[in-house]
Amino acid sequence: MNILITGGAGFIGSHVVRLFVNKYPQYKIINVDKLTYAGNLANLRDIESAPNYKFVRADICDFDTIYSLFQTEQIDGVIHLAAESHVDRSIKDPFTFARTNVMGTLSVLQAAKLYWESLPEGFEGKRFYHISTDEVYGALELTNPEGVKPPFTTKASSGEHHLAYGTDFFYETTKYNPHSPYSASKASSDHFVRAFHDTYGMPTIVTNCSNNYGPYQFPEKLIPLFINNIRHRKPLPVYGKGENVRDWLYVEDHARAIDLIFHQGKVAETYNIGGFNEWKNIDIVRVLILTVDRLLSRAEGEDLDLITYVTDRAGHDMRYAIDSTKLQRELGWEPSLQFEQGIEKTVRWYLDNQEWLDNVTSGDYQLYYEKMYANR
Ligand code: NAD
Ligand code: DAU
């Protein structure tokens, strides 16, 4: 199989590319990425010379380039991750989100359709897998502000801290109700993907995943931003009262789910991905402070006074909570890590990879591609 992975130089994409390149030497993996501020080839240094891997710098909105890539690389499968992904940026610059997330997705869909339809076998054996988010479902209420044990017994939910902050969850059948320009653009792209199945018979799959955390996440997102700030004793800007709830999944568990669904998921289906792992932002922030302080041999809780409550995010969704029972039941996926283990691993990674963080916060990483290709 020749598989096109879009957005493979970003946070989740780099984990997916690494998993596929290492696990499937018989496949050719073509990573197409524009290398926006969020794309960083240093995320893939360990596999960049693998014989079954190729990187192509391109904008997914550039239909002609994407279509000719399908032809030259004879693409059989697509895992589409390229997107603008940060909610705060979407509030400031919604056009960029509509362009990449909506028009870019349409461009990859149309290129796949035209190329596959030109083959004798048509859509047979082909697959277009679109990676989406739980944010398209909108926001849930915080009906259990103190948290209750949910009625689930997954590995990840057996940890002591595991609580549900409401009685409702996002199901695959939950009606779309996006609130931010980011989630509106992702919702629109999901609709286009399903429309290509319903109209043209394209073999599509959509998954909606909860918040990911782990190595190589750009430090504008809560967890890496705050780890870096705690290390440098900079203020931690908690939006509103810090009561908002997010449902966290270790990024490698998401990549494993993507692998499973790409190979075994049913065409035209939607799968929710999440580990039943809800946390209030302020509780996460406290865990991060205690973990960084311990790993840097600082006095316990020494950095708690870095917490700074700031003006809330506009339209800030209160609670996300994914029900991933379908994926667990039908395909046997479950998260491998408890949150306490995942957070420890993640904090250690950022503390041990200060150079990576310094490069991305200074912008130096954007020279990496130019330097690498200037030498060829
Ligand atoms: P990211 O911002 O870290 O990476 C996005 C990648 O896409 C970057 O490498 C960037 O250079 C590339 N890209 C952006 N615009 C492009 C364009 N026009 N053409 C080609 N490449 C382009 O994002 P992420 O957090 O890794 O998210 C990946 C996907 O997963 C997104 O579709 C996102 O909506 C979805 N998702 C993310 C999360 C999460 O918690 N991060 C959760 C669920 C779903
Ligand atoms: O739910 C999946 C989504 O998770 C993905 O689709 C998005 O691509 C990804 O960015 C993420 O969105 P969030 O908005 O939930 O993630 P973020 O890390 O930006 O924020 C997490 C929570 O922390 C959110 O409630 C806002 C809050 N926050 C965030 C930042 C950056 C703060 O309180 N302070 C901050 O400085």
Q: The CATH number of the domain where 7 resides is what?
A: 3.40.50.720
Catalytic residue among 33, 135, 190, 317: 135
Identify whether 194 is part of a domain: yes
Residue 151 has what pLDDT? 55
Identify whether 252 is part of a domain: yes
Phi, psi of 6 (to 5 degrees): -95, 145
Among 37, 180, 211, say which to mutate for ligand 2: greatest number of ligand atoms within 8 Å of CB: 211
Q: What residue type is assigned to position 88 of the chain?
A: D
Phi, psi of 166 (to 5 degrees): -170, 170
Largest CA distance in the chain: 67
Identify whether 189 is part of a domain: yes
Identify whether 163 is part of a domain: yes
Active-site residue, 182 included = yes
Ligand 2 centroid from CA 187, angstroms:
17
Residues framing ligand 2 (Cβ under 6 A): 85-87, 133-135, 210-211, 221-222, 225, 237-239, 244, 246, 281, 313, 320
Reported in sequence order, the residue ranges of the chain that DSSP labels E, i.e. its strands, are: 2-6, 28-33, 53-57, 77-80, 127-133, 204-209, 211-213, 236-239, 245-250, 270-273, 278-280, 307-310
**Total structural domains in the chain?**
1
Please tell me whether the overall predicted TM-score, pTM, comes out greater than 0.95 for this model: yes
Catalytic residue among 134, 278, 317, 323: 134
Residue 367 has what pLDDT? 74
Active-site residue, 135 included = yes
Contact of 270 with 176, CB cutoff 8 Å: no
Identify whether 229 is part of a domain: no
Identify whether 170 is part of a domain: yes
Active-site residue, 317 included = no
Q: Kindly give the pairing relationship between strand 28-33 and strand 127-133.
A: unpaired
Identify whether 288 is part of a domain: no
Indicate which ligand has the atom closest to the C-alpha of 220.
2
Ligand 1 centroid from CA 124, angstroms:
28
Q: What is the pLDDT along the chain (376 residues), one digit of tens a residue?
A: 999 999 999 999 999 999 999 999 999 999 999 999 999 999 999 999 999 999 999 999 999 999 999 999 999 999 999 999 999 999 999 999 999 999 999 999 999 999 999 999 999 999 999 999 999 999 999 988 888 766 554 444 445 556 889 889 999 999 999 999 999 999 999 999 999 999 999 999 999 999 999 999 999 999 999 999 999 999 999 999 999 999 999 999 999 999 999 999 999 999 999 988 999 999 999 999 999 999 999 998 899 999 999 999 999 999 999 999 999 999 999 999 988 899 999 999 999 999 999 999 988 888 766 666 665 5
238-264 burial, b for 16+ CB within 10 Å, e for fewer? bbeebbbbbbbbbbbbbbbbbbbbbee
CA 2 to each of CA 30, 70, 229, 269: distance values in angstroms, whole numbers, following the listed order: 7, 9, 41, 22
How many Cα neighbours within 13 Å face the side chain of 349?
A: 15
Domain that holds residue 19: 2-216+245-277+318-342
Identify whether 187 is part of a domain: yes
